[in-house]
A and B are shown apart, each in its own frame.
Chain A
Amino acid sequence: MSKIPLQFRHNGRDVAIFVDGGTNLLVALRELIGDMTPKFGCGQGGCGTCSVLIDGELHLSCLTLAETVTGRSIETLDGMKQGPNLHPLQRAFADNFAAQCGYCTPGMLMAAKALLDRNPSPSRDEVIEAISGNICRCTGYEPIINAILAVAGGRASA
């Protein structure tokens, strides 16, 4: 099978790769771009840890055909940090002990970013709704919800 050329923006940088037909975006990001921040959890859209933003919208990269992102802009956790500084969400996750084993964290952060980018002051229910596609085994979600609300509150009062 011939390879398909693919160009898109990855965390603000133009990238060009060749993929086999049918390759999913998660594999393209991890194995061809070398961005290991989106995680492979279940591979069928049930856990959320592969979540990335495509043109600002939250998507499961394991269920996205790589070919469909040509010309689009992909954001992953790898691009969240601003230079040496953690993103406010990353800082809030650390301050609120919102990670234990850390496997769900990349997906949780991307889901949280997608929410706050479109709704800077969400309610608690809106936060719960926004991360409801992501499974966490360790934290019981409470610290994650609190971390996201802390950033939202911080922005609202700023």
Chain B
Amino acid sequence: MTRHRGRGIASINYPIGMNLGGDPSQALVHSNPSGKFTVALSSIDLGQGMKSVTRQICAETLGVPVEDVYVDTADSDTGPHCMGSFASRGTHRVGNAVMAAAREARGVMMEAAAEELEVNAADLETDGGGNIHVKGAPHRSISTKDVAIAAQFKQGKTISGRGIFLVPLSDVDPETGEMSPATCYAHACLVAEVDVDDETGEVAMVRMDSAYELGRALNPRLVEQQLVGGAWMGVSHALYETPEPYYPDPIHGPRDFVEYLMPGPGDICPHDIAVLERPAPDGPFGAKGPGEMCANPVLPAVANAIFNAVGVRIDDLPITPEKVLRAIKAQGGARPQPRR
């Protein structure tokens, strides 16, 4: 009776968003007379940071400080249509819509500034600090606040923009069945190390090492947070969580958090993550999105690590101690595989 160490690897190719119905999202951007901007969305931030990232995208596109942008989300009464927060689509789809809206608003803002400075709008640039000036002549300058006031009270212009991102629908080739279900793919590889106890069937996570290629990380700390936390959702799916442990028989279903298991603080292990940034051609500032993919490679990597440790191949989730133990007994004992 002993604990066996095993190592498993998995790679994934993850499509960002989906193709159904073109997967559209819309955004509206407008300035207030104070020179601050509001982004109206109905997209929902569940905590992954979509509000922060769309705020950054809007500020960068407008050329104003990030503090000058407010993102109003999660209400379909006040924001334009969004397909939803799923399929890792928020940064890519909503971000592209925000970028388009901010670009249109920037056009109006520059025209309004040009009128005030009596120059051609093409000769103007933003300094990112809340000012617009003539290229090469920073003293010929006006603040975005003064531009907003002039547009509102003098010129009678709304500094606003509309944006939508819609994926061209991909038809199925009748000859080959070929289609392009997504425009943008992210990639990841994860190595999991586990200890499997051949007496109890328990699997303990020892460490994880991963590499994620997800376009440009617009907010590296949020990306890291998503990858660190999401990996444990993957472990949870791999080893713990199920509403019907004997599916399709509904017996012994969990009734509370004592029976519906999730990793606790004592179950976690070190996880070393490398983020590889290869900008996506159709992403906002090259971003793809780390949403769901943070959990995906963990499941096959853990299943492979268990095989490597004791030689049993479990293809039914979650991989509970009971399943591991039954499989070890069925093959007449643990059969550790060679470590690679």
Residue positions of A touching B, CB distance < 8 A? 41-42, 44, 46-47, 97, 99-102, 127-129, 131-132, 134-145
A143 to chain B: which residues have CB within 8 Å? Answer: 225, 228-229
Question: Which B214-259 residues have a C-beta within 8 angstroms of A?
Answer: 221-222, 224-225, 228-233, 256-258
With A42-B257, A97-B221, A97-B222 known to touch, is A140 a contact of B266 (CB < 8 Å)? no
Tell whether, in the assembled complex, residue B229 and residue A138 are in contact, meaning their CB atoms are under 8 Å apart.
Answer: yes
**Complex CA distance for A105 and B291, rounded to whole angstroms:** 21
Indicate if B136 sits at the interface (CB-CB under 8 A): no
Indicate if B47 sits at the interface (CB-CB under 8 A): yes
Tell whether, in the assembled complex, residue A128 and residue B266 are in contact, meaning their CB atoms are under 8 Å apart.
Answer: yes
Tell whether, in the assembled complex, residue B47 and residue A46 are in contact, meaning their CB atoms are under 8 Å apart.
Answer: no
A130 CB to closest chain B CB, in angstroms?
Answer: 9
Closest to B226 in A: A100
Tell whether, in the assembled complex, residue A145 and residue B228 are in contact, meaning their CB atoms are under 8 Å apart.
Answer: no
Residue positions of B touching A, CB distance < 8 A? 46-48, 221-222, 224-225, 228-233, 256-258, 262-266, 268, 271
Looking at chain A's contact residues, is the secondary structure mostly helix, strand, loop, or mixed? loop
Of listed A132, A137, A140, residue having the most chain B CB within 10 A:
A140
A68 CB to closest chain B CB, in angstroms?
Answer: 23
A137 to chain B: which residues have CB within 8 Å? Answer: 233, 262
B262 to chain A: which residues have CB within 8 Å? Answer: 135, 137
Tell whether, in the assembled complex, residue A139 and residue B228 are in contact, meaning their CB atoms are under 8 Å apart.
Answer: yes
Q: Which of A42, A135, A140, A145 contacts B229 (CB 8 A)?
A: A140
**Complex CA distance for A76 and B268, rounded to whole angstroms:** 28
With A97-B225, A100-B225 known to touch, is A141 a contact of B265 (CB < 8 Å)? yes
A44 to chain B: which residues have CB within 8 Å? Answer: 256
Closest to A47 in B: B257
A139 to chain B: which residues have CB within 8 Å? Answer: 225, 228-229
A42 to chain B: which residues have CB within 8 Å? Answer: 256-257
B263 to chain A: which residues have CB within 8 Å? Answer: 140-141
Tell whether, in the assembled complex, residue A140 and residue B47 are in contact, meaning their CB atoms are under 8 Å apart.
Answer: no
- Name 19 extra pairs, CB < 8 A, besides A138-B47, A138-B229, A143-B228: A46-B258, A47-B257, A97-B224, A99-B47, A100-B46, A100-B225, A101-B46, A102-B47, A127-B265, A128-B265, A128-B266, A132-B265, A132-B266, A135-B257, A135-B262, A139-B225, A139-B228, A140-B230, A140-B231
Q: Which of B46, B225, B264 contacts A132 (CB 8 A)?
A: B264
**Complex CA distance for A139 and B268, rounded to whole angstroms:** 11
Closest to B231 in A: A140
User: Would you list 23 pairs from A and B whose C-beta atoms are within 8 A, ordered by A residue?
Assistant: A41-B257, A44-B256, A46-B256, A46-B258, A97-B224, A100-B229, A101-B47, A102-B47, A128-B266, A131-B265, A132-B265, A135-B257, A136-B265, A137-B233, A139-B225, A139-B229, A140-B231, A140-B271, A141-B232, A141-B263, A141-B265, A143-B225, A145-B265
Of listed A127, A131, A135, residue having the most chain B CB within 10 A:
A135
B232 to chain A: which residues have CB within 8 Å? Answer: 140-141
A135 to chain B: which residues have CB within 8 Å? Answer: 257, 262, 264
With A97-B225, A128-B265, A135-B257 known to touch, is A142 a contact of B47 (CB < 8 Å)? no
Of listed B222, B229, B257, B258, residue having the most chain A CB within 10 A:
B229
**Complex CA distance for A101 and B224, rounded to whole angstroms:** 15
B158 CB to closest chain A CB, in angstroms?
Answer: 35
Closest to A141 in B: B265
Closest to B260 in A: A46
A129 to chain B: which residues have CB within 8 Å? Answer: 266
B271 to chain A: which residues have CB within 8 Å? Answer: 140, 142
**Complex CA distance for A132 and B47, rounded to whole angstroms:** 22
**Complex CA distance for A102 and B46, rounded to whole angstroms:** 9
A134 to chain B: which residues have CB within 8 Å? Answer: 265
B254 CB to closest chain A CB, in angstroms?
Answer: 10
**Complex CA distance for A140 and B48, rounded to whole angstroms:** 13
**Complex CA distance for A97 and B230, rounded to whole angstroms:** 14
A1 CB to closest chain B CB, in angstroms?
Answer: 28
Tell whether, in the assembled complex, residue A100 and residue B231 are in contact, meaning their CB atoms are under 8 Å apart.
Answer: no
